[in-house]
């Protein structure tokens, strides 16, 4: 940590800051006097140092962090990207994973049809929401426990492992009893009590980026999970909120190589929710392969015009099959097993 | 709702959309043929109409909503801004309310000192967080139940009603047993299961705007609360996330008159969290009075340099007192009781 | 400037950076070795130091600026806010200035009517665009030289000084021959060759914030003007681009106190262009007075429904008059002459 | 265009709006009465209709555009993407173009070295800035005419056509005398007088997206050029401004397929300026190929640590060569000639 003092900070103020640092017993401060500013470098345990309430002290202009605030999800000691096993499959740097399924579980018939479409297209996991966070309280809110039963049935029929969202700490046990992988949705990325509960459940976790979260905040959310003992985390970029309205969100594809530099966690892309319309799903999926993402998550629906949620972004089975073929060819080109 | 068909939509596709609308039994569609596009106007129960998955139908280019999606929090039938009673005080258009207190409850001594400072300055409610959502899992996470006990004590000592945040559905009962008003923080604005639980608890609710939420999404979050039976809602603007880094968030002060046009709910401003530094708290508070907000929420701390959270934005007691005097004079000028 | 070296930077790389710094003859580097990182503090002439291409050197992780990059518009040596004379009036901290007029000069009749409305309401300057930057090439683009003639006539009739936009370096001389104050529009804030030309013209300049510019970039644009010899600059906050669509732009009202801390230049607010609709103009104007802005710029039109540009945001004369009365009362309350 | 009337609009107000529409002689209005709102559909010449100042009329709540505002750059009549010839090469859908060179022309030696590196790597055009828009007036501002002379020499030596930025209407003739393609930079995308001048110069134009421009505004800027008679336009996505600070800008890669749907103009990507650091250039370039962009523009510098502008984002010659090999292989995979 670097502490930049006001250009008119007094010697007393500087001494007071140093005393504060040394009083922790865990850090030391080194003073550099510049022409305009005095700068204090702080060395010591980053956790304790970051907690020091220095910025509010008299004479302090600004505090600049030097070290990254995350530890368990950072690269140190994990030079390669991790591979996260999920039931019978795994997500990591050797392969390219396709997760497909309906946005919402609406009925047994619709879910099984979509599950078979996912299976036929060669998907590795089945997605589908039993609990749905919806902007309007008047929209379809999900089938909840009945939805979990249907997902269980879809797994039995297709053999595909299940990833599904959990929205409330009280539902974690129930959802984890069925799901092979627990999804944290974009609206809950900073729901820290929920992050703790899903960590403790021990299942692999798919952590979507908050629509307004910086990459660093996203990795800190992963750190919340990791700190509670569970490192089986896969990140999912799904677009951020910007001024552009041509797409529902702006897919921040640069986050993939940034994450690679910062963290050992695998990362996939959700082109369906990023774009909000199906015509962009194929080009964004191919870009995901080329840039080095570890997978994609795609909405599929046999009758999008009957979908209770997000119909305009769902592919129909034939489209998914064709896209999966193109993804496979490109994954092969870049040296990943499909 | 208006449905804009592709310029090459077929007669069959148009007929199919109309059939879909009429099949609901709750809406009618009217066709207008333009030079380039055919437009279908949909009339009927807005709730049911909004749920129609029209956008995914063949031949549809775009769907434009005409009516607002919120009902209970909208102006209809509530021409004036509502007044929300909170224990011995109330928040509404006749008065200007000051909520003050520490960002976090850190200890009995610190909280009581800040509570007395709030009382001395003439604040109407005491704020203070017992449960704290923190970006880093290595930061102070709040005193939790011990924090609630301290807040209860502060109320007994000062007579000020308490507003405090609840972060998890499982804690609602516990927090509601102590708090006079429950706060939903910016990170939980779209935590719909939590919104339902706090609604059912029956206490007045302070609903902070999500840092990435549009005003409409914010009002829809209020609608989630209202739909579960509780209309004792006060909105709190606390800044949105933009590209500007000179302030922690960008206070969207225009949201105050926009909310006035759209909703009957009172709305206050939190200048401390919007700006992230104390030098902006006074000017933003005075702007809040002038623009017609119903109150402000201000961080106060007797020793900001010892604060475990957000010290740089906290006023010291003397500064709060001076600001409260300026607020009172301005509130008087604009015709509000303080 | 602080140079943070990679945690695995070699001694050679550190020596190489130091050599680079010292080779300028204008700066010195001081090394602080931390537990994880070595940090080099650079002291010397800020202009030359900022130009060193350090960030691309081997072993460098990141460069943090400590000093502000602007000089002439900064507070140093100008403790109070400056007062900028504009013909017969002036803009500064003692007064509150109202600039009013039509968005565009459309005809002699329309402009004179609006000019008289501005005069009657007590405005201090008349605004009106003869050259109009329009998103669509099919929209009205301004009357150009004929517009300048009309503005000259309006000044003769009302006695109000004129502020009008110049969009192209080739027009500066022509516009400066008529205008009392030259306006740089939001789209041209970073048009550095234009900034140089208007500076050389010697007239006072109204510099609108780029809709995507940070406050620092805005002050750097002012520095471009100042460096060419003209310090008669008034800043104008007109909203920034964010994800919120309820208003055309998001008025960043916090920029007023931030500018106060950083610069001696006066700053006004344009509520009409920020909000894009007239119902917000009055509340935002009053907030501008309360927060300490030095003026407002307001669109007025006698027949907004006939306006060729931005009709929905224009006040009619009676509305302007009422608002001016409220502004005057509030300016008086906060101790400014109107 | 659709006009949505207020729910309490009077019959007179509706009649008044209709009269306004019909008075143009170029449009007709059709009234649809809904349960809550009356909607008026307007049919006729889109240019004239868009100019009607309807939004400011009494009783009007909101105006929704149905047709797109651009014409000449839209798909109509140009079903395939256009191919734009640039001297001895061309940019379009059959090929994948690499533009490479230094950010700024700093000296003859540096520019020739970079030009040879571009040539050796197989680039098709040479980029290099003689006129540089710089945030700080104290930074290197470009060699101007001397820079043009050096670019001319580099073309003679390597045979590569030249693309270079023009910033001021007065310089268009001078720059067009040397350049094979004129670049409009991100800060000048909405400098409409400059757009007109470069159009009239008749050379192919590389139009960078404004860092804060929506895709529609970007296409409207292209329309400004096209309307003045020049359709030899290539678009360049270079990242937009968002809250994320891990990259200098956020590359909006989704703009590529969106542009494909809306316009016949080719579009390339500038990964160097989007990301601001070299480690992201290769992955973003490969994503550009996979998503269907028509080319990339890459900064190259033989000694990035001596670069006077943007050194941290420049590749060295060997890195460019390796990346070009990977791009060629991928272009081949997706069926484009390199």
Q: Enumerate neighbours of B (3 or more CB pairs within 8 A).
A: A, C, D
B164 pLDDT tier (thresholds 50, 70, 90): very high
* Residues C57, C88 share a domain: no
Instruction: Name which of C66-75, C176-185, C228-237, D94-103 the model is least confident about.
Output: C66-75
Quote the pLDDT of residue A113: 95
Q: Is the CB of D192 less than 8 angstroms away from the CB of C137?
A: yes
Whether D298 has a pLDDT exceeding 90, the answer reads yes
| Residue D127 falls inside a structural domain | yes
Which of D218, D263, D287 to mutate against chain A (most A CBs within 10 Å)?
D287
Write out the residues of chain A at the interface with chain D, using a CB-CB cutoff of 8 A. 212, 214-216, 240, 242-247, 250-258, 261, 274-275, 279-280, 283-284, 286-292, 329-330, 333
- Yes or no: say if A41 and C35 are a contact pair by the CB < 8 Å rule: no
- State how far residue A28 is from chain C, nearest Cα, in angstroms: 9
Structure tokens at B315: 């006023």
Does B74 reside within a domain? no
Q: How far is CA B7 from CA A79, B10, C220, D66, D265, in A?
A: 54, 9, 48, 10, 21
Residue D236: pLDDT over 90: yes
pLDDT band per the 50, 70, 90 thresholds, residue B46: low
Q: Could you tell me how many residues make up chain C? A: 338
Indicate whether C152 and C17 sit together in one domain: no
Q: What is the structure's pLDDT at D46?
A: 57
What value does the mean pLDDT take over residues B122-127? 97
Which chain C residue lies closest to B332 (C-alpha atoms)? C333
Which class for C36: exposed (0-12), middle (13-18), buried (19 or more C-beta within 10 A)? middle
- Residue C39 is encoded by which pair of tokens? 């940090």
Please report which confidence band the pLDDT of residue A55 belongs to, taking 50, 70 and 90 as the band edges.
confident
A60-74, A230-244, B265-279, C4-18: segment of lowest average pLDDT: A60-74
In which band, very low, low, confident or very high, does the pLDDT at B36 lie, cut at 50, 70 and 90? low
* Shortest Cα–Cα distance, A331 to chain B (Å): 30
Least confident of A247-251, B74-78, D255-259: B74-78
Same domain as D91, residue D44: no
**C24 and C105, same domain (yes or no):** no
Q: How confident is the model at residue D79 (pLDDT cuts 50, 70, 90)?
A: low
D36–B241 CB contact, under 8 Å: no
Q: How far is C337 from chain A (nearest CA, A)?
A: 34
**Nearest CA distance, D5 vs chain B (angstrom):** 10
Q: What is the CATH number of the domain that holds C265?
A: 3.20.20.70
Lowest-confidence region among B49-58, B170-179, C135-144: B49-58
- Note whether D193 and D127 are same-domain residues: yes
CB-CB under 8 Å, B292 with C290: no
pLDDT value at position D74?
A: 87
Chain segment D159-172, per-residue pLDDT in tens: 999 999 999 999 99
pLDDT score of D26 more than 90: no
Co-location of D60 and D208 in the same domain:
no
* Count of domains forming chain A: 2
| pLDDT digit string, tens, across residues A176-226 | 999 999 999 999 999 999 999 999 999 999 999 999 899 999 999 999 999
Q: What residue of D is the nearest CA neighbor of C196?
A: D137
How close does chain D come to B289, measured CA to CA in Å?
Answer: 28
Q: What is the pLDDT of residues A246-255, one digit of tens each?
A: 999 999 999 9
- Please say if the pLDDT value at position A97 is more than 80: yes
Tell me how far apart the alpha carbons of residues C60 and C3 are, in angstroms, rounded to a whole number. 7
Domain span holding position C53: 2-64
Answer with the one of B64, B95, B114 that is the final residue of a domain: B64
Q: How many helices (H) and strands (E) does chain B have?
A: 11, 14
What is the structure's pLDDT at A119?
Answer: 97
Please state whether beta strands D267-269 and D233-237 pair in parallel, antiparallel, or not at all (unpaired).
Answer: parallel
At residue C125's C-alpha, the angle toward residues B290 and C314, to 5°, is 60
- Same domain flag for C26 and C169: no
Give the ipTM: 0.90
Give the pair of three-digit tokens for residue B270. 């939190």
Q: Min CA distance, D202 vs chain B (Å)?
A: 33
- Confidence category of residue B222, pLDDT binned at 50, 70, 90: very high
In this predicted model, which residue has the larger pLDDT, C134 or B216?
B216
The rounded mean pLDDT for chain A is 90
Interchain pair A4, C35: CB under 8 A: no
Hey, are the CB atoms on D308 and C58 less than 8 Å from each other? Answer: no
Indicate whether B242 and B277 sit together in one domain: yes
Q: What is the pLDDT of residue A104?
A: 92
What is the chain A residue with the closest CA to C66?
A4
> How does DSSP assign A113-144, residue by residue?
HHHHHHHHHT-SEEE-BSS---SSTTS----T
**Structure confidence at residue C110 (pLDDT):** 94
Coil, helix or strand at residue B5: strand
pLDDT of residue B50: 66
Please say which residue of C64, C99, C114 terminates a domain.
C64
Please, are residues C91 and C295 in contact by the beta-carbon 8 Å criterion? Answer: yes
* CB atoms near residue A156 (< 10 Å): 9
Nearest residue of chain B to residue A45 (CA atoms):
B138
The per-residue pLDDT for A19 is 85
Among candidate residues B225, B224, B232, the one with its CA nearest the CA of residue B203: B232
Whether B311 is in a domain gets the answer yes
Q: Which residue has the higher pLDDT, A63 or A32?
A: A63
- Mean pLDDT computed over A11-32: 81
Q: What is the pLDDT of residue A4?
A: 81
More confident residue, D49 or C46: D49
Q: For the CA atoms of D117, D121, D127, D132, what is the dihedral angle to 10 degrees?
A: -50
Q: Is residue D84's pLDDT more than 60?
A: yes
Q: Among A40-44, A236-240, B172-176, which is the least confidently predicted range?
A: A40-44
With beta carbons under 8 A apart, name residues in chain D contacting B262: none
In order of A4, A36, A65, B58, the CA distances from A32 in angstroms are 10, 11, 16, 68
- Hey, is A227 helix, strand or coil? helix
Query: Hey, are the CB atoms on C2 and A243 less than 8 Å from each other?
Result: no
Do D260 and D163 belong to one domain? Answer: yes
- Are both D310 and D247 inside the same structural domain? yes
pLDDT at C34 over 70: no
- Determine, yes or no, domain membership for B300: yes
Q: What percent of chain D has pLDDT over 90?
A: 68
Give buried/exposed letters for C167-178 (b at 16+ CB in 10 A, else e): bbbebbebbbeb
Q: Classify residue C177: in a domain, yes or no.
A: yes
Q: Is residue D171 part of a domain?
A: yes
Place of tokens 């000062």: B158
Collect all residues with Cβ–Cβ distance below 8 Å to D95 and sequence separation of at least 6.
D294, D295, D336, D337, D338
Strand duo A97-101 + A60-64: pairing = unpaired
Q: Is position B172 within any domain? A: yes
A58 or D90, greater pLDDT: D90
Rounded average pLDDT over D130-139: 86
Closest chain B residue by Cα to residue C217 = B244
Chain-chain contact of B138 with A311 (C-beta, under 8 angstroms): no
**Apex C240 CA angle, D309 and D269, nearest 5:** 45
- Neighbors of chain A by Cβ distance (3+ pairs < 8 Å): B, C, D
- In DSSP terms, C95 is beta-bridged to C337
In a domain, D75, yes or no: no
Say how far apart CA D323 and CA A332 lie, in whole Å.
19
Kindly determine whether residue C53 and residue D306, on different chains, have CB atoms separated by under 8 Å.
Answer: yes
Do A186 and A247 reside in the same domain of the chain?
yes
* Reported confidence tier of residue A95, pLDDT bands at 50, 70, 90: very high
pLDDT digit string (tens) for C276-311? Answer: 989 999 999 999 999 999 999 999 988 877 777 777
CATH code for the domain in which residue A34 is found: 3.30.70.1140
Spell out which chain C residues touch chain A, with contact meaning CB-CB distance below 8 angstroms: 2, 4, 30, 32, 34-37, 39, 41-44, 46, 64, 66-67, 241-243, 245
On chain C, the residues whose CB falls within 8 A of the CB of B252 are 242, 244, 250
pLDDT in tens, D182-205: 999 999 999 999 999 999 999 999
Query: What would the two tokens of residue A121 be?
Result: 């297209």
At D134 the pLDDT is 83
Subunit contact D53:C136, Cβ cutoff 8 A: no
Partner residue facing D32 (CB), from B32, B46, B241: B32
pLDDT at B205 over 80: yes
**Do D106 and D60 have their domain in common?**
no
Place of tokens 């909105």: B235
Which of A16-25, B264-273, D44-53 holds the top average pLDDT? B264-273
């Amino acid at each position: 940590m670097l502490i930049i003092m006001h250009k008119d900070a007094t010697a007393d103020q500087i001494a007071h800051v140093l005393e504060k640092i040394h009083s922790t017993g865990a850090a030391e401060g080194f003073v550099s006097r510049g022409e305009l500013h005095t700068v204090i470098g702080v060395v010591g345990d980053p956790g304790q140092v970051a907690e020091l309430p220095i910025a509010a002290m008299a004479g302090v202009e600004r505090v600049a962090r030097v070290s990254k605030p995350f530890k368990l999800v950072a690269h140190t000691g994990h030079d390669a990207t991790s591979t996260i096993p999920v039931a019978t499959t795994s997500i990591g740097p050797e392969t390219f994973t396709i997760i497909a399924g309906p946005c919402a579980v609406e009925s047994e018939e619709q879910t099984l049809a979509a599950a078979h479409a996912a299976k036929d297209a060669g998907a590795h996991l089945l997605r589908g929401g039993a609990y749905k966070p919806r902007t309007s309280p008047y929209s379809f809110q999900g089938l909840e426990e009945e939805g979990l039963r249907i997902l269980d049935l879809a797994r039995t029929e297709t053999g595909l492992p299940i990833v599904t969202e959990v929205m409330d700490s009280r539902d974690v046990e129930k959802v984890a009893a069925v799901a092979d992988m627990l999804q944290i949705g974009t609206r809950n990325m900073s729901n820290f009590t929920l992050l703790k509960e899903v960590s403790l459940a021990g299942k692999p976790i798919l952590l979507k980026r908050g629509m307004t979260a910086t990459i660093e905040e996203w990795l800190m959310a992963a750190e919340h999970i990791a700190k509670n003992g569970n490192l089986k985390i896969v990140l999912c970029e799904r677009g951020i909120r910007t001024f552009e309205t041509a797409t529902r969100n702006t897919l921040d594809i640069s986050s993939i190589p940034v994450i690679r530099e910062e963290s050992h966690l695998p990362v996939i892309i959700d082109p369906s929710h990023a774009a909000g319309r199906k015509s962009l799903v194929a080009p964004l999926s191919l870009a995901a392969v080329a840039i080095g993402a570890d997978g994609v998550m795609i909405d599929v629906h046999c009758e999008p015009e009957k979908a209770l949620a997000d119909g305009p972004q769902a592919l129909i089975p034939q489209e998914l099959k064709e896209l999966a073929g193109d993804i496979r060819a490109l994954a092969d080109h870049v040296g990943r097993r499909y």
